[in-house]
A and B are shown apart, each in its own frame.
Chain A
């Protein structure tokens, strides 16, 4: 299988996906249909762990863009973590994702999420 998608258990409103392999024109539709299935109504946080994703092309970017649009419509958020060099380069060229949504490693992501949660609690 060229692309494998795994879910990692997380908060009930969070979907944590680990992508493994290549995300090109042939495998992008798989990811698209997977996300449509899994992105049920109450999910408002989507995290992509791309540590083992070695390659991405424009088709993959398109799927991310589409998903991002969907998440934003729910007032949710989408994050990327553990980008490999090729993916990072491509993201940079097309300015695919705001810098705020990309994290170098899981520790930074957790720290950010933790901070966000605290803020939510503190807001009246």
Chain B
């Protein structure tokens, strides 16, 4: 119990502090609208309840208030009435008792005993000031207590028609005594014989203003003291003169006084409530005037009391809510701490045991289960990742091994000068199923092979390794391609339950004669590039290796001419996909080779690579890319410069051709990775030269031929322009423009050629065989 209290005291302290600080963060402006942020469910609850309570209580208050005011009004009036009645009753009592006593004395007694009885009466009642009597006609008046009785008796003879007994109106007792008195006049058997009893009114005020005994300070309406007035003379007997004046001025009151009903009257007007009643014996009016201000003040006090009570209720409720909420969210907070801990990576935090069966309890239980599952999952993941990494490292080693299985180009070329080879080997995944191979067969023959194993990945790679090893084993110095394929097929068909197969093209080239024999097992036939024409080698293919035992393979024969290029490829290039899903296709490959006829294998490979990359762009590589290019060169040139790139373009002598030539040349130069600045300069040179040839050499005659030969070797670009126009040597015919003079006077043609001379490093002109031959050399920076 103690601990509970202490804990909640601390909470109270904390709540105050946090409310302070959270109020600062409470309102966050989100896009111009204020949005409340709560750091705790408890705060939210309290806030919500307070708002709801304020709303509910306001509504109740609004309803209660008129009712309350009305009730208060009624109650005030009733209270005043009862007060007035009480006082009236007391005054009447006093007066009536005196009347009775006096009447008793007078009527039942003989003359002689009257006076002593009257004396006794005076002694008894302190309010009696004086008594006077004329007991018999003609006798002298007797005065008791005061001076002579005549003066006193004269009061009774005010009106001849007045009926005895009666009370007189108040009058001043004597010139020296300013207080008021009244006289009770009785008559004896004869009208002339009267007794007058004079009363002072000093007892009146205390009676009237005496406070009621029941006082409960807070709830008591403090009424103004009652007043008594004698309507006959308009004198106020009790009550301040100011209020008396006000009342007398009230017209209604005068009217009421005239009516002179018995019983309390209630009069309400704009300035207040007036409760009056009349006193029958003396016709006095006794009343209480309650000004409106006082009523209102009382109502206010009451309403404030109610508001205070409501506020107390609200506060107590808030405290209660806070306590309950704290209890409930204690579990949540513990869960929160655990979650934060787990988020840091510590999955082994202790979770609290929650015994509640409500939502919080179920959450805690589910959370525990989740934590446990997470632990297991992470462990499994770690194990899997470790295994995966191990596998990947093994794969990359496998890739290296595979790469070493296909022969490298440099090793081959140097020992066989009668041909040139270039190859591209790019698997799609880490290891692939494509391969190529070439090796010497006997003394004068070259055997070259390209193959594709079904599918990709590790399975294909293993079969590729087997096939390529088998290939070298089965190939004898006298083997023909068909024999090789049959031998391979036999071997691969055994133990091939998976039905994996290999497509393969095999060619044997007699380097002396150029005779090529070839066979294919389901593989695309290679392309032949001869004199810038492309054709496919003709042959019917046999089935892929590994499927049919005793399969037959047709053999093809072809005679190669010097400089012929054979392009062997797999479907990696023809079935390459671009991001739009289009295939590269054989057509595109053929078009490519037609447009940009390559001069040597290395150039071919570079060309195909460039356009492949351009085509595929962002799309992933879908299949293994393998290309082998062979060129037959029986007479080996003196210097084998692998880096020479040559292109020849034939141009029509129309100015509109300039665009085509520009574009074509730009692509060629880009494919050779020439620097941008050099490309720009070259294009400018070409444009200016061609314009000159067309305009001056051919005098703008169309459909005349211009040849442009572009040769790129290391560091130097050479262009040779040949045209069959009239003899025109731009070096001599075109004058150097004088740049110092103002431009409007420069010769217009000279400017173009001037640019050519400035941008190129060497310009030579030759007239030979009726041709103008302009050679331009540019160093590539």
Contact surface of A with B, Cβ cutoff 8 Å: 2, 24-26, 55, 57-59, 61-62, 65-66, 68-69, 85-86, 89-90, 93-96
**Chain B residues, CB < 8 A from A55:** 680, 683-684
**Cβ of B691 under 8 Å from chain A:** yes
Cβ B758 vs Cβ A93 within 8 A: yes
If A86-B680, A93-B755 touch, does A25 touch B655 (CB 8 Å cutoff)?
yes
- Inter-chain contact B680/A24, CB cutoff 8 Å: no
Q: Does B63 contact A (CB under 8 A)?
A: no
Most buried by A among B655, B658, B687, B758: B687
| Shortest Cβ gap from A72 to chain B (Å) | 8
Question: Once the chains bind, are A62 and B659 in contact (CB under 8 Å)?
Answer: no
24 A/B residue pairs, CB under 8 Å, sorted by A: A24-B658, A24-B662, A24-B687, A25-B655, A25-B691, A55-B684, A57-B687, A57-B752, A58-B691, A59-B691, A62-B751, A65-B743, A65-B744, A65-B746, A68-B744, A69-B743, A69-B744, A85-B680, A86-B680, A89-B677, A90-B684, A93-B754, A94-B755, A95-B739
Roughly how many angstroms separate A94 CA and B691 CA in the complex, as a whole number?
18
Total count of chain B residues near the partner, CB < 8 A? 24
**Nearest 5 interchain pairs by C-beta:** A58-B752, A69-B744, A65-B743, A58-B751, A86-B680
Which residues of chain A are near B248, meaning CB under 8 Å? Answer: none
| Residue pair B684, A26 in contact (C-beta under 8 Å) | no
Give B663-694 as 1s and 0s: 1 = Cβ < 8 Å from A's Cβ atoms.
00000000000000100100110011001000
The prevalent SS among residues of B at the interface is helix
Q: Specify which of A26, A61, A69 is in contact with B658 (CB 8 Å cutoff).
A: A26
A67 → chain B closest CB, angstroms: 10
Inter-chain CA distance A94–B662, complex, in Å, is 22
In whole angstroms, how far apart are the Cα atoms of A94 and B741 in the complex? Answer: 11
Tell whether B344 is near chain A: CB-to-CB under 8 Å: no
Given contacts A58-B755, A61-B751, A93-B755, contact A25 B687 (CB under 8 A): yes
By a CB distance below 8 angstroms, the chain A residues around B512 are none
Chain B residues packing against A (C-beta within 8 Å): 655-656, 658-659, 662, 677, 680, 683-684, 687-688, 691, 737, 739, 743-744, 746, 748, 751-752, 754-755, 758-759
Is A26 a contact partner of B655 (Cβ separation < 8 A)? yes
Chain B neighbourhood of A94, CB < 8 A: 737, 739, 751, 754-755
Inter-chain pairs besides A55-B683, A58-B755, A68-B743, 14 sampled, C-beta below 8 Å: A25-B658, A25-B687, A25-B691, A26-B656, A26-B658, A26-B659, A57-B687, A57-B752, A58-B691, A59-B752, A65-B744, A66-B744, A89-B677, A90-B755
Cα-based distance from A59 to B687 in the complex (angstroms)? 10
Measured between alpha carbons, how far is A25 from B322 in the docked complex, in Å?
88
Chain B neighbourhood of A2, CB < 8 A: 659
A57 and B687 alpha carbons, distance in the complex (Å): 8
A61 and chain B: residue at smallest CB distance: B751
Chain A residues whose CB sits within 8 angstroms of the CB of B744 once the complex forms: 65-66, 68-69
Residue of A nearest to B695 (CB): A25
Q: Whole-angstrom distance from the CB of B655 to the nearest CB of chain A?
A: 6
Chain B min CB distance to A54 (Å): 8
Contacts of B680 in A (CB 8 A): 55, 85-86
Residue of B nearest to A65 (CB): B743
Is A62 touching B748 in the complex (CB atoms < 8 A)?
Answer: yes
Complex: how many Å from CA A11 to CA B746?
32
Given A26-B659, A65-B744, A57–B758 Cβ distance below 8 Å? no
Most chain A CB neighbours (cut-off 10 Å) among B684, B737, B743, B746: B743
Q: B656 contacts which chain A residues (CB < 8 A)?
A: 26
Query: Could you say which residues of chain A place their CB within 8 Å of the CB of B684?
Result: 55, 57, 86, 90
Given A65-B746, A93-B758, verify A58-B688 contact (CB < 8 Å): yes
Residues of A within 8 A of B688 (CB): 57-58
> How far is the CB of B674 from the nearest CB of chain A, in Å?
14
Q: Which of A62, A65, A85, A95 contacts B677 (CB 8 A)?
A: A85
> A82 vs B448: C-alpha distance in the bound complex, in angstroms?
57
Are A96 and B658 in contact, with the CB atoms below 8 A?
no
